[in-house]
A and B are shown apart, each in its own frame.
Chain A
Amino acid sequence: MMDLHSQSLTELKAGLDRGDFSSVGLTQALLDRIDRHGADLNAFITVMGDAALAAAKRADETRAAGGGDVLNGLPIVHKDIFCTRDVLTTCGSRMLENFISPYDATVVERLAAAGAVVLGKSNMDEFAMGSSNETSYFGPVKNPWNLECSPGGSSGGSAAAVAARLVPAATGTDTGGSIRQPAALTNTVGLKPTYGRVSRYGMIAFASSLDQAGVITRSAEDAALLLGVMAGFDERDSTSVDHPVPDYLAGLSGSLKGLRVGIVRQHFDSGLDDATGKAVREALAVLEAQGATLTEVDLPNLDYCVPTYYVVAPAECSSNMSRFDGVRFGHRAADPEDLLDLYCRSRGEGFGEEVKRRIMTGTYVLSAGYYDAYYLKAQKVRQLISDDFNKAFASVDVIAGPTTPTPAFKLGDKTDDPITMYLNDIYTIGANLAGLPAMSAPCGMVDGLPVGLHLVGPHWAEESLLRTAYQYQAQTDWHLACPEAYR
């Protein structure tokens, strides 16, 4: 039998169903691996050993009694942005260093109700603001493919844990690429659903019109399995959309014959690393060989994506972060002189550099005299960007290209200049601005570092993205590659 840690969620599910092993055995095996590798990678903020074993025991009992839902006994990890009842939920920040959530996020609740066993909470950029995991108060996560490299961010802990085979799947959140970019840099599958597809209730807010919960897994099939549980209307999230949830697993079958794949010329321009571009072109050729047709599409306002994002996201961030006042929960400065001092010092001490920078950028673009020039202007450009995608999707089913301009970069390489770091999300941000579903799937290696194929679809087209990735994975084995030290 294959080692338990090297099996996908789908394979583990079959093994549990056959009775090859118990959930307790599986959970213990993975907890042992986390114990062995967790510190090197710094992928976890909290490991929930006892709670996980207790949940696994319950899952085994349920199964023995002939019951058990679709994820019964299967181990997962939650990004530490999801509120988990009675468990530390830090969002990677000193501000929430001691925050024990009094309730579960809807995502946490749904996965638990389906029988998932939560092994712990993964490390992340502070309040999901970052693309390298270096803004975490708990230190950067290391990339299992090269410990000197960043795993990407902000869902870097989730991506590193899945890539290093510490857990078969993890939740993540994506505001500008925070699921897809780390997935690309760690050779994992990352799916960001349509805005409104998965509930944001209990998911600590960064930029509410862009944030969306999703998954990081080892295969498109595993992503389909988890999305089926997470997706669906939730009245507790006012932006949740009541739209039918299809059977994502059933949607995986069917050939790519006739699939219209759009290619954006600017995606392959000078900003893209040559070897990364070559790997992506080879992946496109695989899709073509399976019967897909490739067509060039134009996104004329593409260059405005990153500047638009860096007005809209900080603006919403500054508003969301105003809840941290040092009064009701979160960090409070010692011996405040007065109420103003309490606010200013609690926030000054509790937030890290990048979070403060974004709060200030947002405060500036929303302030009197600048609102029209920045915020309103950005929301107009955002509409143009969204219109561009709509026009493109009139003639293609999915847009394919690179997820990132380069493979993983060294930790420390981009910390001096915020703009260099921001440009790392150049291909992924558009999907968030337009609320579109998008995913990244492993498609090659450059000097031992993974490359991701980025797929974007029209609203609610998760099924066609998952099918494209699934059929691609049926023909290729990039997604099976594992760093040597973690085999």
Chain B
Amino acid sequence: MSLDKDQVQHIAMLARLQLADDEFAQTVEKLSRIVDFVDQLSAAPTAEVVPMAHPLNQAQRLRPDKVTETNDRDAVQKNAPSVSDGLYLVPKVLE
């Protein structure tokens, strides 16, 4: 097993994912298999190779810094689980 339980627990926390207990054991095993599989990349000869930044070698296009969108807050917040007076509600962060 290339990954142990502690590592998987750490990754899950970084990813903000809660895994059920039965799910967790399976994840350790399957994630290890994926990591073993992608490990074969280490054999690829890449000494002088520049990592790819864009499949078509395009530069990032920039746009003028102008306001183009209107405020659609009410329409957008229709999908929010909990809002009040235009604000998104979450559990208390500061005591």
Nearest Cβ in chain A — how far from B41, in angstroms?
5
Interface flags, A391-432, vs B, CB<8A=1, else 0: 000000000000000000000000001110010000000000
Interface flags, B60-82, vs A, CB<8A=1, else 0: 11010000000010011011111
Q: In the complex the two chains form, is A100's CB within 8 Å of B79's CB? A: yes
Q: Which residue of A lies closest to B49 (CB)?
A: A380
Q: In the complex the two chains form, is A377's CB within 8 Å of B79's CB? A: no
Does A17 make an interface contact (CB < 8 A)?
no
Q: Which residue of A lies closest to B13 (CB)?
A: A344
- On chain A, the residues within 8 Å of B92 by CB distance are 338
A51-B55 Cα distance, complex, nearest whole Å: 39
Number of interface residues of B (CB under 8 A): 54
- On chain B, the residues within 8 Å of A338 by CB distance are 91-93
For chain B, residues 1 to 60, give those with C-beta under 8 angstroms from any C-beta of chain A. 3, 8, 11-20, 23, 26-27, 30-31, 33-35, 37-42, 44-46, 49-56, 58, 60
Does A113 make an interface contact (CB < 8 A)?
no
Q: Which residue of B lies closest to A312 (CB)?
A: B52
A377-B42 Cα distance, complex, nearest whole Å: 8
Known: A100-B78, A301-B44, A357-B27. A344 touches B55 (CB 8 A): no
Q: Which residue of A lies closest to B88 (CB)?
A: A327
Number of A-B contacts (CB under 8 A): 168
- On chain B, the residues within 8 Å of A246 by CB distance are none
Interface flags, A173-196, vs B, CB<8A=1, else 0: 000000000000000000000111
If over half of A's interface residues share one DSSP class (helix, strand or loop), that class is named, otherwise mixed; here it is helix
Does A241 make an interface contact (CB < 8 A)?
yes
A225-B27 Cα distance, complex, nearest whole Å: 44
- On chain B, the residues within 8 Å of A435 by CB distance are 55-56
Q: In the complex the two chains form, is B56's CB within 8 Å of A418's CB? A: no
Q: In the complex the two chains form, is B40's CB within 8 Å of A307's CB? A: yes
Number of interface residues of A (CB under 8 A): 74
- On chain A, the residues within 8 Å of B31 by CB distance are 357, 360-361, 364
For chain A, residues 362 to 395, give those with C-beta under 8 angstroms from any C-beta of chain B. 363-365, 367, 373-374, 376-384, 386
A196-B55 Cα distance, complex, nearest whole Å: 9
A340-B92 Cα distance, complex, nearest whole Å: 11
Nearest Cβ in chain B — how far from A130, in angstroms?
14
A347-B19 Cα distance, complex, nearest whole Å: 9
Q: In the complex the two chains form, is B34's CB within 8 Å of A357's CB? A: yes
For chain A, residues 238 to 253, give those with C-beta under 8 angstroms from any C-beta of chain B. 238-239, 241
- On chain B, the residues within 8 Å of A99 by CB distance are 79
Interface flags, A315-345, vs B, CB<8A=1, else 0: 0001000100111111110001111111111
Q: In the complex the two chains form, is A384's CB within 8 Å of B90's CB? A: no
- On chain A, the residues within 8 Å of B35 by CB distance are 361, 364
Does A46 make an interface contact (CB < 8 A)?
no
Nearest Cβ in chain B — how far from A438, in angstroms?
13
Residue from A194, A347, A383 within 8 A of B51 (CB atoms): A383
Apart from A238-B60, A327-B90, A329-B81, list 9 A-B contacts with CB within 8 A: A195-B55, A326-B81, A330-B81, A337-B91, A349-B18, A360-B11, A363-B15, A364-B31, A433-B55
By a beta-carbon cutoff of 8 Å, the part of chain B in contact with chain A is 3, 8, 11-20, 23, 26-27, 30-31, 33-35, 37-42, 44-46, 49-56, 58, 60-61, 63, 72, 75-76, 78-82, 88, 90-93
- List 3 A-B pairs, minimum CB-CB distance, nearest first: A435-B55, A348-B18, A379-B51
By a beta-carbon cutoff of 8 Å, the part of chain A in contact with chain B is 98-100, 102, 194-196, 209-210, 235, 238-239, 241, 301, 304, 306-308, 310-311, 318, 322, 325-332, 336-345, 347-349, 351, 353, 356-357, 359-361, 363-365, 367, 373-374, 376-384, 386, 417-419, 422, 433-435, 459
Q: Could you list some 10 contacts between A and B, CB below 8 A? A: A328-B76, A328-B79, A329-B79, A342-B91, A348-B18, A356-B17, A357-B30, A364-B3, A379-B51, A383-B50
